[in-house]
Amino acid sequence: MTVRAEPPEPETVNNTPLRVFVVPHTHWDREWYHVAPRFRQRLVALIDTLLEHPMGPFLLDGQAITLRDYLAVRPEREGALRRALASGALEAGPWFVLADNLIPSGEAIVRNLEAGARVLRYFGAAAPPVAYCPDSFGHPAAMPAIAAGFGLPVAIVWRGLGGTPHPPARVLRWQAPDGSAVAICHLPPDGYEFGSALPTDGQAARARWHQLAPLLSEAAPAGVALLLNGADHHARQRALPQALAALQVAAGSTATITHSALSAWASAFVNALLTQADVPVVHGELRDSYGYTWTLGGTLATRALQKRRNALLERGLLRDVEPWIALTRLYATEVRDSDDARIGVSHLPALLHRAWEDLLATHPHDTLCGCSTDGVARSMDLQQELVAEQGKGLRAAALEHVIGYNAVAARAPSPRGAPQFDWRRLLLRNRAARARGGVATVHLIDTLGDVAVGPGSGHAAPLRAPSSTLETGAVLAQPLSTKTRFDRRESPQHYPDNDLVAEHRCLLWVPPVPALGVQLWSHEQWRQQSAPAAAVTVRQQAQSTVIDNGRLQLTWQHASDAARESAPSLKLRVDDRELSSLLSLEVQRDEGDTYTPAPRGAVEQLRCTHARLMSRGPLRAVIRLWWRTASRARRAGDDGTIVVRTDLVVDAMSPAIVCHVHGQSHRTNHRLQLVWHTDVQHRHIPHGNVWADAAFGPVRRDVITAPAHSAEAVPHGMPMHRWVMHTNAMFGATMIADGLADAHVHDHRLALTLVRGTGELSRNTVNERPGHAGWPVPTPGAQCLGAFSARTALYLHGPMSDDLLSRVRDVCDDVLLPLVGESWRDAAQGGAWGGPEVVGEAFELSAVTLSAHDEEAIVVRLVNLTARAAWGALRMPFSGPWEFTSCRLDETPIAPPVTHEDALTFEAPPRAIVALRVRRTEPSAVR
């Protein structure tokens, strides 16, 4: 609901005749209250009509996936579709999908634009030069930099802009933290549908013009106005020429009405804006349109586990797939056209693009935000599973090429009855952009024997029993678990070799592994060469257990069964700071819907029923706590039980305490949060701030306050990427999480929403937002009953500073991307393959991936985290000479290439995104 003053009479709005560009469009939620194949049926009919009866330009909602969806059913119409795009009768893009913009990472937003450009290139078409974001539930501060990086000078936005802090204007300049700017055309309060269903009747057209003229004039620099004609899943308006003619008559000499393409309006809009002085400027995130239109910022915890899986998949592709694929352009020597049918280096780019596109297909706001039907959510679950499997295959294929492993040549039969584990065939992966050693989690394989499959397999010889211990020699190691499982070694020329193996999971203390690199373990070289300065120690007394790793101290005060408290007595000490009550789990009733939370009633503390010391070091100590609600009802309902297990983990030399969460929920209509209790408050201390990780760098988060006339309340949560920080002038605390998207910050509290359950897509009885935000549909799946999990950490530190940002960067890598390794039973012995290394405390790696325009090059993107110009370097893993080309995000060069032997030193402006294309200047080895 929007409260606005009565519009002035049209003739008093502006003495300059308006040039009204009418852009027919459809707002195409690919899936929402129907699944994508159901909506696709309507899309086919819509596009068929547009192709068979062309009547001027039509916008397919700024996303290119609609073109693919159409051809999936109508492949015989590809030629007609190409001609329509070439002539301008149809427009699509620049996006692959119209995605949520606050939950995905900055790199995912970039990949969205890259995928949209690939689709349009296939059709020989180009997108309108507009960052078209007509319905996203808010926008990141970096969006102007992203748009500029793809040559998009103007953005169309609706939600997130128009709140109290913003200039009262609908034409603005939006400036990113790095200084990049984009022009904004802010849609009216009714959004992209304000020009839908234009009347053909003269009297009705005059009444409609009376409503439209003030809205058009407000967003018309030098008289250039945009009128979007369409709405959700609407086909082209019938009798549109007659409606435009009627509107022209109603406007008279005050305006010219033109049926237009979005690209034509964009060109006129940008040129008109050049003539305007003193255009208001808006900075930072756009998350506040309270009092202007519904912001719908409360979806961050809806279907929370899908958001977590999305973040894990994004991080997996960015840091555990793409770096190894990039290494194939540095190290792989396999012939491209090998006749053994292995996945070759030349296959990897297209396969990587497909994995990203499958993930991006889950990013539309109705899908990723969880405000869709259960059928859509089930489809997303399956899609996420398929992306995960693609990621595993791509990682294995890339690593095979990097280390020179040949699955066909490696298929010698395994000897029976003898251990197959070999330390020299342990492959470690460092997913950080700095050389790094320390605690590594590894999976070591001991082959127990072949397991035959098929005829005759019933007469196979018995297999060797697994050993209960793993000989680690002089290596500092800590066993964690052992299990038996089947393991298949696959080859394109053979049936899989199916083995029964014992998998030993353990921790090792390892010397530094190269930045963004892999290393085959060399037991002889690494034997006791390094050890932590302080191993984890555990002191157990009658009333307490104290865990100390030299950087922090965790004390668990035991409680008798008769005096057990509702919260565990856990104390964390770091230097001279002590948190006397570290952790709690809280649940509260929530009567909202998938769009808007509506917390009600008292907050219930889950009771810690018992605790146990699970690991004693020397590399990791773990205290496990079991929690539950007072209710023990195991049926689904408002009083259903919630049981949770939390493992508090202290690793050698780590400055952060990590918490692994596993739980089961039988409760409906609720919100469950994990709360870190800190010593940070800023109510009475100057310079207290909340900072958060976001797309391409940190942002400061101020409290959003809705004006008195706003019908929509501001939800308490804020978007959560990897971390949220609470600081004051003396010290601070940072909460890290591995993908859950909803964080709450208050004095002495950093809270992470684990589960939010709701059973309705939209309710019109929510006081926080009276009225329906979507179609009312039951969503029992959005109650999120059953298992859930999460990983979070707490890091105590000093006040906000540039140095702190670099330390938080490193702690996040260590928590979310630890050193890992696994046995490659047939790998060659020894070797290290490093990737590009980022040098400079101010800089964080954003991505290292393949160049889309140079088959011999890779692209490295970095972010200056600080608000000052800073010097940094990109160091290559071996001598070149190397050619470095500074580029926009779309790889358009912005400076001539420069050549250096092994590293490029550069200076970057404050908060800049640095994109470099890197290639050897001499021909690489034949692949």
Look at strands 577-579 and 583-590 and give their pairing: unpaired
The pLDDT confidence band at residue 405, using thresholds 50, 70 and 90, is: confident
The pLDDT confidence band at residue 52, using thresholds 50, 70 and 90, is: very high
C-alpha 187: how far from its chain's center?
27
Q: How many Å apart are CA 814 and CA 653, to the nearest integer?
A: 11
| Strands of 401-542, DSSP E | 426-429, 436-450, 477-491, 494-513, 518-520, 537-540
Please tell me the least confidently modeled range out of 26-35, 233-242, 556-565, 639-648. Answer: 556-565
The answer on 810 and 861 residing in a single domain is: no
Q: 577 phi and psi, to 5 degrees?
A: -100, 140
Q: Which long-range contacts (CB under 8 A, 24 or more apart) does 850-853 make?
A: 850/322, 850/325, 850/326, 850/329, 850/348, 850/349, 850/352, 851/891, 851/917, 851/919, 852/114, 852/118, 852/349, 852/891, 853/891, 853/917
Residue 296, class by beta-carbon neighbours within 10 Å (0-12 exposed, 13-18 middle, 19+ buried)? buried
The pLDDT confidence band at residue 417, using thresholds 50, 70 and 90, is: very low
Look at strands 171-175 and 281-283 and give their pairing: parallel
Q: How many Å apart are CA 919 and CA 546, to the nearest integer?
A: 52
What is residue 123's predicted lDDT score, i.e. its pLDDT?
Answer: 97
Q: Are 838 and 872 in contact (CB under 8 A)?
A: yes
**Would you state the structure tokens that stand for residue 301, as one six-digit string?**
């915890």
Residue 529 has pLDDT above 50, yes or no: yes
Number of H helices, E strands in the chain: 15, 45
Please tell me the least confidently modeled range out of 113-127, 548-562, 738-752, 785-799. Answer: 548-562
The answer on 710 and 804 residing in a single domain is: yes
C-alpha 145: how far from its chain's center?
18
The proportion of the chain whose per-residue pLDDT surpasses 90, expressed as a percent, equals 82
Whether 571 maps to a domain, the answer reads no
Residue with the larger pLDDT of the pair 451 and 282: 282
In this structure, what CATH number is given to the domain that contains residue 247? 3.20.110.10
Please tell me the least confidently modeled range out of 264-278, 469-483, 544-558. Answer: 469-483
- In DSSP terms, which residues pair with 586 in a beta bridge? 605, 673
The answer on 85 and 144 residing in a single domain is: yes
Whether 198 maps to a domain, the answer reads yes
pTM of the model: 0.95
Work out the number of other CB atoms within 10 angstroms of the CB of residue 217. 21
The answer on 843 and 804 residing in a single domain is: no
Q: How many Å apart are CA 167 and CA 163, to the nearest integer?
A: 8
Whether 366 maps to a domain, the answer reads no
Whether 156 maps to a domain, the answer reads yes
The answer on 900 and 800 residing in a single domain is: no
What is residue 315's predicted lDDT score, i.e. its pLDDT?
Answer: 98
Side by side, the strands of the sheet bearing 426-429 are: 477-491, 494-513, 436-450, 819-823, 426-429, 518-520, 831-833
In this structure, what CATH number is given to the domain that contains residue 804? 2.70.98.30
Q: How many Å apart are CA 927 and CA 533, to the nearest integer?
A: 44
What dihedral do alpha carbons 328, 332, 335, 336 form, nearest 10°?
Answer: 0
Whether 383 maps to a domain, the answer reads no
Q: How do residues 681-700 score in pLDDT, each as one tens digit?
A: 866 555 569 999 999 999 99
Q: Are 856 and 924 in contact (CB under 8 A)?
A: yes
Q: How many Å apart are CA 741 and CA 306, to the nearest integer?
A: 10
What is residue 925's predicted lDDT score, i.e. its pLDDT?
Answer: 45
Q: Are 744 and 753 in contact (CB under 8 A)?
A: yes
The answer on 243 and 127 residing in a single domain is: yes
Residue 197 has pLDDT above 60, yes or no: yes
The answer on 206 and 141 residing in a single domain is: yes
What angle (nearest 5°) sits at the alpha carbon of residue 404, between those of residues 853 and 470? 125
Q: What is the total count of domains within the chain?
A: 4
Q: How do residues 225-239 score in pLDDT, each as one tens digit?
A: 999 999 999 999 999
The pLDDT confidence band at residue 567, using thresholds 50, 70 and 90, is: low
The pLDDT confidence band at residue 469, using thresholds 50, 70 and 90, is: low
What is residue 336's predicted lDDT score, i.e. its pLDDT?
Answer: 46
The pLDDT confidence band at residue 541, using thresholds 50, 70 and 90, is: confident
Residue 50 has pLDDT above 70, yes or no: yes
Whether 367 maps to a domain, the answer reads no
Mean pLDDT computed over 531-556: 92
Range(s) of the domain holding residue 673: 583-816
What is residue 733's predicted lDDT score, i.e. its pLDDT?
Answer: 98
Q: Which long-range contacts (CB under 8 A, 24 or more apart) does 124-127 make?
A: 124/82, 124/85, 124/86, 125/82, 125/85, 125/86, 125/92, 125/93, 126/93, 127/62, 127/64, 127/91, 127/92, 127/93, 127/94
Look at strands 518-520 and 537-540 and give their pairing: unpaired
The answer on 739 and 653 residing in a single domain is: yes
Sign (positive or negative) of CA dihedral 756, 761, 763, 766: positive
The pLDDT confidence band at residue 452, using thresholds 50, 70 and 90, is: confident
What is residue 5's predicted lDDT score, i.e. its pLDDT?
Answer: 37
Please tell me the least confidently modeled range out of 68-77, 419-428, 762-771, 897-906. Answer: 419-428
What is residue 454's predicted lDDT score, i.e. its pLDDT?
Answer: 83
Q: Are 751 and 794 in contact (CB under 8 A)?
A: no
Residue with the larger pLDDT of the pair 781 and 632: 781
The answer on 277 and 142 residing in a single domain is: yes
Mean pLDDT computed over 808-834: 92
Q: Are 882 and 919 in contact (CB under 8 A)?
A: yes
Q: How many Å apart are CA 142 and CA 695, to the nearest integer?
A: 6
What is residue 670's predicted lDDT score, i.e. its pLDDT?
Answer: 98
Q: How do residues 130-186 score in pLDDT, each as one tens digit?
A: 999 999 999 999 999 999 999 999 999 999 999 999 999 999 999 999 999 999 999
Select from 242, 264, 283 the last residue of a domain: 283
Nearest to 387 by CA among 448, 475, 310: 310
Q: How do residues 773-789 score in pLDDT, each as one tens digit?
A: 999 999 999 999 999 99
Look at strands 181-186 and 154-157 and give their pairing: parallel
The answer on 862 and 796 residing in a single domain is: no
Residue 915 has pLDDT above 80, yes or no: yes
C-alpha 350: how far from its chain's center?
21
Directed axis angle between helix 65-73 and helix 36-52, to 10°?
90
The answer on 877 and 845 residing in a single domain is: yes
What is residue 143's predicted lDDT score, i.e. its pLDDT?
Answer: 98
Q: Is 585 helix (H, G, I), strand (E, B) or coil?
A: strand
Whether 747 maps to a domain, the answer reads yes
Residue 195 has pLDDT above 60, yes or no: yes
**Would you state the structure tokens that stand for residue 854, as one six-digit string?**
């140079």
Mean pLDDT computed over 394-419: 77
The pLDDT confidence band at residue 14, using thresholds 50, 70 and 90, is: very low
Select from 486, 507, 530 the last residue of a domain: 530
The pLDDT confidence band at residue 342, using thresholds 50, 70 and 90, is: confident
Query: Quick one: which H or E segment has residue 810?
Result: helix 802-816
Whether 202 maps to a domain, the answer reads yes
The 3-state DSSP composition of the chain as helix, strand, coil percent (nearest 5) reads 25, 35, 45
Contacts of 354 (CB under 8 A, 6+ apart): 390
Cα-atom radius of gyration of the chain, to the nearest Å? 29
What is residue 522's predicted lDDT score, i.e. its pLDDT?
Answer: 65
Bond prior to 512 in cis (omega within 30° of 0): no
Residue 272 has pLDDT above 70, yes or no: yes
Select from 816, 846, 868 the last residue of a domain: 816
The answer on 635 and 501 residing in a single domain is: no
Residue 7 has pLDDT above 50, yes or no: no
**Would you state the structure tokens that stand for residue 867, as one six-digit string?**
């608000």
Mean pLDDT (the chain) is 92
What is residue 471's predicted lDDT score, i.e. its pLDDT?
Answer: 64
Residue 423 has pLDDT above 70, yes or no: no
Give the chain's end-to-end CA distance (angstroms, integer).
61
Query: Quick one: which H or E segment has residue 227?
Result: strand 224-229
Q: How do residues 714-745 score in pLDDT, each as one tens digit?
A: 999 999 999 999 999 999 999 999 999 999 99
